[in-house]
């Protein structure tokens, strides 16, 4: 994620700690990598100290409470595979409690009746509180998710702070329109909060994904029940405490750690929920649409991706290799918009592959609290899935330039992996891997690369690198994707909408467009005693 002027892009693209010359084994290049054991400060990390202020419960109606069943579930440290917390496990009974609280808060509480300016002040105060504890949030995020601390500290948490400030500014600017009619009526529209919103977020960017959903919903006057991912619930729970401190009334913002088939499904189906907003896999998105159908709920979905990066002739090779490296390996490749299909023009292909392999070999892997660029994957399921795709790519005939294996014997670490000679029909070229696996393919004509890029069922994002303005315009118009970055990637800004085409979902997060996810439009028409002039 990157906000305007955010240093995240630079943090992830420094290419520090160049290792010794790689050892070669046939066609495969294996670079020596920093492992979790070798990380310089791993021994100084104390999970209990980092989590000292996190209350591992459910947040319902302004109180941190146990699950109705009394159940808890373990949260693991992906660096070590050790249990670092036992968190209350929400199920249908807890969803009912949380939705009831949100319903009361919306129907009879003060939040939606406040002026937009009052809500904006609360959101600004919340942003200030998070900023005051930014280092604590960054360390929780890295411990829970496994991303490098530099990324949490200089990217994710500043993004969250500025995102809430952005929507605090929008809260008093939400308004309808007066309308021209036939002259016998006076008509205008009201933009009103949609009601109780159920939000389900993924584990790859825990706190930024919370901000994507919660900030615009609260700015509009909605109340929220947030189901956080079972892998990464911890930063959200501390955030919930600060929301109460900032002045968000009880019941307006509720947090349910739990599993999708129980807590998530119950939230989607609950008759007291007016709107569902989900970010996650396309498979789960289908289930959410089915679950919301009986209640005819509003739904917005930001789903999977298999984004194309198109490298055109005439570009500066060094900068493009760096850009496309970060576009894929950011957050260990665990990003919905990761540029996991790299299409390189045939005139540049061989040199690009050589340089891309060399760049991946310089990427350091290890304990995310150390000076590394890639930490562990989030859990064992993701770890096994990514290793499976690496094996499948080799078995289907792609050439592996580097990587392809786990790093160390403990923790969910894998090598940054680069495949060349990838064909469009291979699984690594078609399916979302969600890991550090770059697939490089060759293209010849503009028509061909557009057809191939658009043939994939996903349409979340794409990148184009070219010095030709006409070609940039042609490709950006031709690509069926919700975001097209030209000569950059992951250039997020709070004002710029983000969402997908096709199986990547519908609806938009970020910017003014996100507000429409959380509003109803009401028309008010009054007859005029005497016809008005036009």
Q: Which residues are catalytic?
A: 302
Name the residue among 308, 310, 307 with its Cα closest to residue 466. 310
Q: Which residues contact 368 (CB under 8 A, 6 or more apart)?
A: 79, 142, 146, 147, 148, 149, 375, 376
Angle at 279 between CA 274 and CA 285, to 5 degrees: 75
Nearest to 198 by CA among 211, 181, 217: 217
E strand or H helix at 88, and its extent? strand 82-88
Residue-level length of the chain: 534
Q: Determine the longest span between alpha carbons in the chain, in angstroms.
A: 89
Q: 237 and 55 in contact (C-beta within 8 Å)?
A: yes
What is the DSSP track for 436-498? SEEEEEEE--HHHHHHHHHHSSEESEEEEE-S-HHHHHHHHHH--SSEEEES-SS---TTS-B
Find residue 28's DSSP bridge partners.
25
Yes or no: say if 326 and 9 are a contact pair by the CB < 8 Å rule: yes
How many CB atoms neighbour CB 374 within 10 A?
A: 29
């Amino acid at each position: 994620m990157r906000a305007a002027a955010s240093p995240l892009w630079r943090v992830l693209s420094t290419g520090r700690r160049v290792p010794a010359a790689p050892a070669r084994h046939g066609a495969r290049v294996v670079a020596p990598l920093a492992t979790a054991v070798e990380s310089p400060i791993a021994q100084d990390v104390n999970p209990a100290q980092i989590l000292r202020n996190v209350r591992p419960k459910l947040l319902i109606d302004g109180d941190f409470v146990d699950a109705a069943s009394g159940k808890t579930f373990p949260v693991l440290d992906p660096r070590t595979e050790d249990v670092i917390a036992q968190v209350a496990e929400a199920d249908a009974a807890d969803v009912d409690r949380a939705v009831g609280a949100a319903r009361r808060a919306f129907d009879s509480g003060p939040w939606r009746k406040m002026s937009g300016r009052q809500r904006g002040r609360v959101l600004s105060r919340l942003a200030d509180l998070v900023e005051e504890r930014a280092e604590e949030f960054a360390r929780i995020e890295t411990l829970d998710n496994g991303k490098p601390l530099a990324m949490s500290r200089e990217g994710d948490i500043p993004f969250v702070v500025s995102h809430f400030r952005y929507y605090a500014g929008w809260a008093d600017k939400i308004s309808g329109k007066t309308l021209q009619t036939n002259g016998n009526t006076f008509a205008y529209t009201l933009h009103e909060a949609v009601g109780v919103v159920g939000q389900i977020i993924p584990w790859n960017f825990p706190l930024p994904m919370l901000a994507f959903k919660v900030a615009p919903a609260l700015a509009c006057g909605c109340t929220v029940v947030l189901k956080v991912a079972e892998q990464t619930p911890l930063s959200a729970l501390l955030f919930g405490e600060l929301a109460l401190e900032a002045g968000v009334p009880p019941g307006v913002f509720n947090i349910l750690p739990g599993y999708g088939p129980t807590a998530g499904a119950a939230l989607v189906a609950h008759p007291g929920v007016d709107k569902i907003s989900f970010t996650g896999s396309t498979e789960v998105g289908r289930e959410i649409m089915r679950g919301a159908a009986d209640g005819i709920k509003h739904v917005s979905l930001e789903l999977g991706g298999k984004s194309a990066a198109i490298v055109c002739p005439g570009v500066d090779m060094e900068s493009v290799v760096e850009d496309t490296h970060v576009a894929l390996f950011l957050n260990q490749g665990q990003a919905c918009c990761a540029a996991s299909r790299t299409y390189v023009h045939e005139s540049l292909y061989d040199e690009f592959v050589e340089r891309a392999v060399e760049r991946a070999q310089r990427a350091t892997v290890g304990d995310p609290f150390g000076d590394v660029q890639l930490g562990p994957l989030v859990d064992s399921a993701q770890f096994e899935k990514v290793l499976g795709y690496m094996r499948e790519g080799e078995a289907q005939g792609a050439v592996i330039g580097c990587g392809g294996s786990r790093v160390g014997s403990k923790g969910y670490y894998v090598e940054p992996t680069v495949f060349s000679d990838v064909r469009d029909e291979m699984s690594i070229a078609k399916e979302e891997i969600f890991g550090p696996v770059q697939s490089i393919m060759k293209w010849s004509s503009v028509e061909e690369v557009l057809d191939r890029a658009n043939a994939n069922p996903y349409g979340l994002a794409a990148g184009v690198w070219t010095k030709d303005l006409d070609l940039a315009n042609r490709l950006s118009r031709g690509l069926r994707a919700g975001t097209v970055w030209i000569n950059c990637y992951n250039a997020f800004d709070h004002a710029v909408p983000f969402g997908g085409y096709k199986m990547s979902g519908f609806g938009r997060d970020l910017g003014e467009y996100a507000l429409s996810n959380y509003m109803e439009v009401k028309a008010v028409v009054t007859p005029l005693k005497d016809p008005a002039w036009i």
